[in-house]
Structure 1
Amino acid sequence: MFRLFDFSLKMSGFPMKGAHAAFDAILAVPEADFSTHIEAQRKKIVAFHLENNSFYKELVGENGYTDWNNLPVLTKKDLQKPLTERLSEGYTQKSVFVNKTSGSSGDPFIFAKDKEAHAITWASIIHRFGWYGIDFNTSFQARFYGIPLDFIGYRKERLKDFLGQRYRFPIFDLSDVFLEKVLKHFKTKKFDYINGYTSSIVLFAKFLQKKNLILKDICPTLKVCMVTSEMLFDSDKELLETQFGIPVVNEYGASELDLIAFQNPKGEWQVNSETLFVEILDNNNQPVPNGKEGRVVITSLYNKAHPFIRYDIGDVGILDEKSTPKKPILKQLVGRTNDIALLPSGKKSPGLTFYYVTKSIIEDDGNVKEFIIRQTKTDMFEIDYVSEIELTPDQIKGIQNAIDTYLEPGLRFSYNRKETLERTLRGKLKQFQSEL
């Protein structure tokens, strides 16, 4: 059988054959040797960036690398400068994989991965989805995600969907009228699994609950549902499993890194120890014991194009006491929940819709440092932002056009440039807040 998904990755320049071999070799490292393996890889990636990345070398300082716990913790603010200033020697924007973070934490930036690092990321994802019998070449995905609405961006995502065996349900309008259309697709298409934003999929489950329907009865081919990007509460997981009639898998990831934790078939939230090194740190950047709460700080062990070493992702979590170096278990994640925006037309749009709106103000010059969007009335929103230069009338007009496209016309937005933004008690900047 021709494996279209594998072929598409190969055509994009990602060396998947070598990545799968490298990933399998990591999996084969015995538990007894895994700490030594991780320590060696940590030293290797730090040494590489100290030698080849002037941005990281300046961050570490003249004293260099003596002790892991004394290395600086990289924040998103550190990365809000042009990408060319952060790339390692020998890499250019044309030779690497470049993307933007979602900005769900309110701190957007552009990042890069070298082709080998991105390939091993895909090997990691393929491995974990394989736990549930999902093969990206043959398994058909019902995808609850956003999509760019400009002509080129839209066509590019639709092509990716075709190559990845996916049918996408854009999540900008989650009214009952739209969800009725979604339901019709499940009646006629042989989906193998569901993947997408937690809040959107939960709204679909609530819609099914109102109609007293079980999705597995309507679409018997369904095997599993993977939710991502937002907190999955126990009550929502119970609702999903009841209304879908299939297992629900909790995924925690970051586009700039990889899958960070993925629920395994035993129900454990297993941390990715193959391509990442995940630490839980206190406010002094020192590791806390397993079972204690702290900041989630992550090192990408294979990305040579761009340093993500002791990178503070902006979340708070707890590692389980039964964690081992090879199999860390995430006991709890605090944060990553988004409100739903209720619009005058009756539309319900998840907070992550604003990812597509705020792309309008994410620029590679790093001008906009942080932002939050607050809904004060059904048709009234306020954008508070921190920037070096005030947004121009043309930029604001561009944002308004994006809002009209992704949400609906007639919404009113005010813009407030501020020195700092208010954070939660845990220091998290919540990008979208509903005050209704």
Structure 2
Amino acid sequence: MIKLFDLTLQINGFPMREAKAELQKILAIPEEEYGRFIEKQKMEIVHFHLNNNPFYKELVGENSLKNWSDLPILTKENLQKPLNERLSMGYTSKNSYVNKTSGSSGHPFIFVKDKFCHALTWASYMYRFGWYGIDFNSSYQARFYGIPLDFIGNKKERFKDFLSHRYRFSIFNLSDEVLESFLKDFKSKKFDYINGYTSSIVLFAKFLQQKNIILKEICPTLKVCMVTSEMLFEEDKLLLEKQFGIPIVNEYGASELDLIAFQNPGSQWQVNSETLFLEILDENNQTVPNGISGRVVITSLYNKAHPFIRYDIGDIGVLDEKSTLKKPILKQLIGRTNDVAILPSGKKSPGLTFYYVTKSIIEDDENVKEFIIKQTKTDTFEVEYVSETELTLAQINKIEEAITLYLEPNLYFTFSRKITLERSIRGKLKQFTSFLLCN
């Protein structure tokens, strides 16, 4: 059988055979030698960029570097400058992989990877999807993602889907009529797995729940579902497992880096320690002990075209106490550092706390399909939701009581029912936004 997926990448200049061989060599390194491997890769990538990347050399400055912790933290704000000012010598947009981040953090930017680094990214994805019997060259993917709406962009994406053996469900309109058409596709096509944005896949599961349908029963070829890009709450995971009848796998990645963490068959969120080095830092840029929350800061160990060294990805997370250098385990991903609600008392609270507390009440009767929360003033929040019927006064009171209990009193909420919710260009749903931090 022709390995069309591999072949397409190879034709585009991504050395897949070499990348897969390199990944296997890394995986074979025993635990007791892994620390030496990580230190060697860290030093090599830093010295490469200090010698070949004027942007990074200027960022680091003239200070002599005695410790890893002396290196500056790279932020998305640092990257808000033209790409040609950030490229390493010898690399151009013509001989590298170039793409753009989604901008969900509020700081979109164009990034670049050298072709070997990007091939390693794909090798990493293929290896981990293989844990669940998924082969990118032969397994058929049901893809819940956005798609460009302009004619040329749309056709290019559809052609890429064909080469990648996947069928795309456009998620910009998720009305019952559209979800009904999704269901027909699952009845007629032999999908092996589902992959896509958490919120749209959860919405499809709620639609199946209303119809009392188990997806595996009408599409017996389905093996697994991988969700990505948005928070997966435990109740939603249970709903997906029940309505799909297959394992649900949580994926955490960043387009400018790689796959960051992937749920292994033992239900641990295993960090990619082969191509990335992940740190959890406090507000003084010091490493926190495992089990303590902090900022997720990542180093790309192989990207020579562009430095991502001690790069603050904008998330807050916790490493498990059982983590090792070879097998770090992400215990918890708390949310984005910019998704913080600042309350009248001066208290700061992760925006997802509001979302989670509201969610636990608002979805009790299965009336509300999805919702978002916007903070417009320190004491004022807007809840926009899609539902069959308006929220009752009793439900609204219950939400306000819960928020008072978990956070603080005298916060004001307005509730507005919508036909659809606003999604990003790529189809992501931002569950909480504070407009206090956007100004």
Residues 214-256 of structure 1, C-alpha deviation per residue, up to 9 Å, x if partnerless? Answer: 0000100000000000000000000000000000000000000
Quick one: which of 412, 418, 424 aligns to 1:354? 424
Residue of structure 1 equivalent to 2:174? 174
User: 3-state DSSP class of the match of 2:284?
Assistant: coil
User: 3-state DSSP class of the match of 1:261?
Assistant: strand
User: 3-state DSSP class of the match of 1:335?
Assistant: strand
Residue of structure 2 equivalent to 1:397? none
Residue of structure 2 equivalent to 1:331? 331
- CA positional deviation for 1:373: 11
User: 3-state DSSP class of the match of 1:298?
Assistant: strand
TM-score of the superposed pair, with normalisation by structure 1:
0.81
Residue of structure 1 equivalent to 2:407? none
1:320 and 1:373 mapped to 2: Cα distance? 26
Q: Is the 8 A contact 1:103 1:355 kept in 2?
A: no
- CA positional deviation for 1:321: 0.1
1:223 and 1:64 mapped to 2: Cα distance? 53
Q: Which has the larger displacement, 340-349 or 301-310?
A: 340-349
The runs of at least 4 consecutive aligned structure 1 residues that moved more than 4 Å come to 336-347, 372-375
2:3 and 2:283 mapped to 1: Cα distance? 47
1:356 and 1:127 mapped to 2: Cα distance? 26
1:356 and 1:232 mapped to 2: Cα distance? 18
Alignment of 1:318 onto 2:284: no
Alignment of 1:259 onto 2:259: yes
1:235 and 1:64 mapped to 2: Cα distance? 50
1:122 and 1:282 mapped to 2: Cα distance? 31
Unaligned runs of 5+ in 1: 359-371, 376-383, 385-420, 424-428, 432-436
- CA positional deviation for 1:66: 2.2
2:81 and 2:206 mapped to 1: Cα distance? 42
What one-letter code is carried by the residue in structure 2 that aligns with 1:348?
T
Q: Is the 8 A contact 1:179 1:207 kept in 2?
A: yes
Residue of structure 2 equivalent to 1:294? 294
What one-letter code is carried by the residue in structure 2 that aligns with 1:12?
N
User: 3-state DSSP class of the match of 2:256?
Assistant: coil
What one-letter code is carried by the residue in structure 2 that aligns with 1:244?
F
The root-mean-square deviation of aligned C-alpha atoms, in Å, is 2.2
Residue of structure 2 equivalent to 1:215? 215
Distance change >3 Å, CA 36–CA 190, structure 1 → 2: same
Residues 44-81 of structure 1, C-alpha deviation per residue, up to 9 Å, x if partnerless? Answer: 00000000000000000011432101100000000010
Residue of structure 2 equivalent to 1:422? 436
TM-score of the superposed pair, with normalisation by structure 2:
0.80
2:66 and 2:48 mapped to 1: Cα distance? 15
Residue of structure 1 equivalent to 2:160? 160
1:193 and 1:64 mapped to 2: Cα distance? 50
Residue of structure 2 equivalent to 1:394? none
What one-letter code is carried by the residue in structure 2 that aligns with 1:276?
L
1:65 and 1:293 mapped to 2: Cα distance? 27
Residues 244-286 of structure 1, C-alpha deviation per residue, up to 9 Å, x if partnerless? Answer: 0000000000000011000000000000000000000000111
What one-letter code is carried by the residue in structure 2 that aligns with 1:145?
Y
Q: Map 1:111-190 onto structure 2 (within 5 A).
A: 111-190=111-190
2:96 and 2:419 mapped to 1: Cα distance? 39
Residue of structure 1 equivalent to 2:228? 228
Alignment of 1:66 onto 2:66: yes
Distance change >3 Å, CA 320–CA 373, structure 1 → 2: closer
2:241 and 2:431 mapped to 1: Cα distance? 32
1:291 and 1:356 mapped to 2: Cα distance? 33
Q: Is the 8 A contact 1:144 1:195 kept in 2?
A: yes
Residue of structure 2 equivalent to 1:396? none
User: 3-state DSSP class of the match of 2:424?
Assistant: helix
User: 3-state DSSP class of the match of 1:299?
Assistant: strand
Percentage of matched positions with identical amino acids: 69
- CA positional deviation for 1:374: 9.2
- CA positional deviation for 1:346: 6.2
User: 3-state DSSP class of the match of 1:354?
Assistant: coil
- CA positional deviation for 1:8: 0.6
Q: Which has the larger displacement, 329-338 or 59-68?
A: 329-338
- CA positional deviation for 1:120: 0.5
1:342 and 1:348 mapped to 2: Cα distance? 8
Q: Is the 8 A contact 1:53 1:89 kept in 2?
A: yes
Distance change >3 Å, CA 330–CA 4, structure 1 → 2: same
Q: Is the 8 A contact 2:146 2:427 kept in 1?
A: no
User: 3-state DSSP class of the match of 1:230?
Assistant: coil
Distance change >3 Å, CA 185–CA 347, structure 1 → 2: farther
User: 3-state DSSP class of the match of 2:425?
Assistant: helix
Q: Is the 8 A contact 1:192 1:223 kept in 2?
A: yes
Q: Map 1:376-415 onto structure 2 (within 5 A).
A: none
Residues 113-162 of structure 1, C-alpha deviation per residue, up to 9 Å, x if partnerless? Answer: 00010000110000000000000111000000000111221111111100
User: 3-state DSSP class of the match of 1:277?
Assistant: strand
Q: Map 1:12-161 onto structure 2 (within 5 A).
A: 12-161=12-161
Unaligned runs of 5+ in 2: 337-351, 356-370, 373-383, 387-415
2:418 and 2:63 mapped to 1: Cα distance? 59
Q: Is the 8 A contact 1:279 1:297 kept in 2?
A: yes
User: 3-state DSSP class of the match of 1:194?
Assistant: strand
Q: Is the 8 A contact 1:174 1:347 kept in 2?
A: no
User: 3-state DSSP class of the match of 2:47?
Assistant: helix
